Structure 1
Amino acid sequence: MADILISATSIVLLVLFFGTINGMRPKLPSDKGQDESDDGICKSMVEPQNYVCEEHTVTTGDGYILSLQRIPVGRSGGTSVDRPPVLLQHGLMMDGSTWMLLPPEKSLAFLLVDNGFDVWIANSRGTKYSRGHVSLSPDDAAYWEWSWDELVAYDLPAMFQHIHGATGQKFHYVGHSLGTLIALAAFSKQELFGMLRSAALLSPIAYVNQISSPLAKSAADIFLGEQLYWLGLHEFEPKGEAVGKLLNDFCNQPGINCSNLMNIMTGPNCCINSSTMNVFLEHEPQATATKNMIHLAQMIRMGTVAMYDYGNEDDNMSHYGQSTPPAYNMTSIPNDFPLYLSYGGKDALSDVKDVQVLLNCLKDHNGDKLVVQYRDDYAHADFVFGFNAHEVIYDPLMAFFRLH
């Protein structure tokens, strides 16, 4: 009985940690209107706002079939020729909808295209519109045998090559949260620069062992992700029936207010209104691999930015040719690559102390190639859902892109 309770608690806390890492609590089976259209992001999110939208697919080197959306021109029309391309990469448990949850005049995807950019929207493996594979089904445990290492090694290169080939241009990159980690990891290996003009990293994640969310820290410290994996749950589906029932029971406990979970996990977001939260719950959160969550928990516990640790010397030796996982060395990022980093004083996931460790790694970066923006009032989700982000974050971001 004790083991059952531990497992149930593990699932609940993991949902609270990872299912709310970039937003509110997951939508529960008892919630109304949770079904989404299966028509794709173009038809459900972009075309209703009177923008032209193209659906693209790319296949990674390890067989995953990813969806990409392209918004080539603004509502005023025109041509996509000579428009600088921009790729938007979402964070954990999110998909490309992240960038379009606010009205067009405030959503980064629409702002960019209306300001002369050619916008591409990423959807990482395992999310709703990127669940294809050349031979595996999401029902297969093997489909979920990946962590963010594979996003670095396969997803980013496949999307980068597709965009570069389709446009014939180098492009800008915007990442939020996990979208910053995979970019930094690739940059530390000095990869992908030949296709990039610059990168903007919102709520940058690299070092995370000073994370200030007590629930997130506890979830990592007691190996909750590993417990799920040992139970055979290789896919973490926050909208699943079992997880939903546990969350319903948890949220109905006396003294528990699940409406505050976003702030508990991400920090006290200053600038998100209730209408945005309602739109968020129509589209998110998305599934990810349990192994991916284990990898992030390893980083919290160890204070390192390294590849997935298989837990023993023999398995690490088999995968890496060494007894410990190889590190991603942040000091190896080329000093002349244009970087824009924006972080918040209230962020409980991209903690200011952890960001400072990253900035220390970049201390030799060329002064004219590194812009660091600090917002004392911003928490983790404000950077993508904040009602004033278009003014305080996106306007200077676009100005940075125009310089490069």
Structure 2
Amino acid sequence: MDGNLGSSADWVVTGPSNGLAFLLADSGYDVWLGNNRGNTYSKNHTMFLETSYGFWDFGWYEMGIYDLPAMIDFILQITGQKQLFYIGYSQGGTQFFVMNSMKPEYNDKIRLGVTFAPAVFLGNTKGAINLLSKLSYPIGSILAGLVPYFPAGCSTKQLLHFGFGFENPNTFRQYDYGVAKNLLKYKSVTPPEYPLEKVTVPVAIYHGTNDFLVDPKDINLLENKLKNIVRVSICNASLNHFDFNYGSHIRMEAYNDALKLLEGY
């Protein structure tokens, strides 16, 4: 599963020598590439037009509790397998932890979860992206109502939900609708935390020290929350967040090691 604003193409665009989908296929795996709702390859809906508010009223919560479980169940049904390997980059890691914490029965359907720069805790995010956190609360309800499909390829709600993570360090919570709606929806003024203690699937994490979105301090916090970490790999210090899909040396830095780990399972 790709990151926010990405698609299945991200796993093949770097070509047969570096694209992870190619490397997995060459190693004999049956490779399934997911597309989250709202991206270039996933814009059909049985009820709503793409230009309607209803189409774009979603975030990565829905991707974690509806879309990802549906994909997994479909793959297992078609292949006749009881388990699969899961690989997620950035938001692909986010929805993985949402699913396994909120629907813990899916822990048993995954043999190993490999996450590249998983965007879970975001309190130490650096750079211009922090502007989103400053705008999340004052303009969140306005944007969600008027332009829920901005920017192309994801919903406003997705971006704002990440923004709430920047604004509230050390938290991994459900969507914040504001005090009044939170009380109605959650019976609490603040959104509930995702219960990461329910994530029991073996997990590997690959991250870089030069990642301006997913800071090593936030990765350390995630490590401390999970029960079954089997691998934490700190990649080359020069790697940034986007290198985990597009970096010219990412095969050497992370993919080859991940392939060995998969083989061990």
In structure 2, how many angstroms separate the alpha carbons of the residues matched to 1:147 and 1:307? 10
Partner of 1:374: 234
Answering whether residue 101 of structure 2 is matched by residue 188 of structure 1, we say: yes
The question of whether the paired residues in 1 share the 8 Å contact of 2:69 and 2:99 is answered with no
Answering whether residue 6 of structure 2 is matched by residue 94 of structure 1, we say: yes
Answering whether residue 150 of structure 2 is matched by residue 236 of structure 1, we say: yes
In structure 2, how many angstroms separate the alpha carbons of the residues matched to 1:357 and 1:180? 15
Partner of 1:353: 217
State which of 130, 146, 171 in structure 2 corresponds to 1:217.
130
State which of 173, 176, 189 in structure 2 corresponds to 1:306.
173
SS at 1:152's partner residue?
Answer: helix
User: Which is higher, the Rg of structure 1 or of structure 2?
Assistant: 1
* Structure 1 residue 116: Cα displacement: 0.6
In structure 2, how many angstroms separate the alpha carbons of the residues matched to 1:119 and 1:360? 31
* 1:98-177 map, 5 Å: 98-169=10-81, 170-177=83-90
* 1:175-324 map, 5 Å: 175-189=88-102, 190-213=104-127, 215-223=128-136, 226=140, 229=143, 232-238=146-152, 287-303=153-169, 304-313=171-180, 315-324=181-190
- CA 1:237/1:217 → structure 2, altered by over 3 Å: closer, same or farther? closer
State which of 191, 209, 218 in structure 2 corresponds to 1:325.
191
SS at 1:288's partner residue?
Answer: coil
Partner of 2:208: 344
* Structure 1 residue 329: Cα displacement: 2.5
SS at 1:130's partner residue?
Answer: coil
Partner of 2:263: 402
In structure 2, how many angstroms separate the alpha carbons of the residues matched to 1:163 and 1:216? 35
* Structure 1 residue 228: Cα displacement: 5.5
- The AA in structure 1 aligned to 2:238 is D
In structure 2, how many angstroms separate the alpha carbons of the residues matched to 1:225 and 1:98? 31
1:301-355 CA-to-partner distances (Å, cap 9, x unmatched) read 0121111111123x12332344431211223322xx3211100010000111111
In structure 2, how many angstroms separate the alpha carbons of the residues matched to 1:199 and 1:134? 31
Consecutive aligned runs of 4 or more in structure 1 exceeding 6 Å deviation: none
1:118-158 CA-to-partner distances (Å, cap 9, x unmatched) read 00000000011111111111111111111111011111111
In structure 1, how many angstroms separate the alpha carbons of the residues matched to 2:193 and 2:219? 18
The question of whether the paired residues in 1 share the 8 Å contact of 2:124 and 2:215 is answered with yes
The question of whether the paired residues in 2 share the 8 Å contact of 1:225 and 1:294 is answered with no
State which of 230, 245, 249 in structure 2 corresponds to 1:388.
249
Gaps of at least 5 residues in structure 2 are none
SS at 2:97's partner residue?
Answer: helix
SS at 2:177's partner residue?
Answer: coil
In structure 2, how many angstroms separate the alpha carbons of the residues matched to 1:396 and 1:323? 44
SS at 1:236's partner residue?
Answer: coil
* Structure 1 residue 227: Cα displacement: 6.9
Gaps of at least 5 residues in structure 1 are 1-88, 239-286
TM-score of the superposition, structure 2-length normalised? 0.92
1:33-57 CA-to-partner distances (Å, cap 9, x unmatched) read xxxxxxxxxxxxxxxxxxxxxxxxx
- The AA in structure 2 aligned to 1:217 is N
* 1:65-80 map, 5 Å: none
The question of whether the paired residues in 2 share the 8 Å contact of 1:225 and 1:291 is answered with no
- CA 1:237/1:186 → structure 2, altered by over 3 Å: closer, same or farther? same
- The AA in structure 2 aligned to 1:390 is R
* Structure 1 residue 230: Cα displacement: 6.1
* Structure 1 residue 184: Cα displacement: 1.4
- CA 1:167/1:128 → structure 2, altered by over 3 Å: closer, same or farther? same
TM-score of the superposition, structure 1-length normalised? 0.62
In structure 2, how many angstroms separate the alpha carbons of the residues matched to 1:167 and 1:231? 41
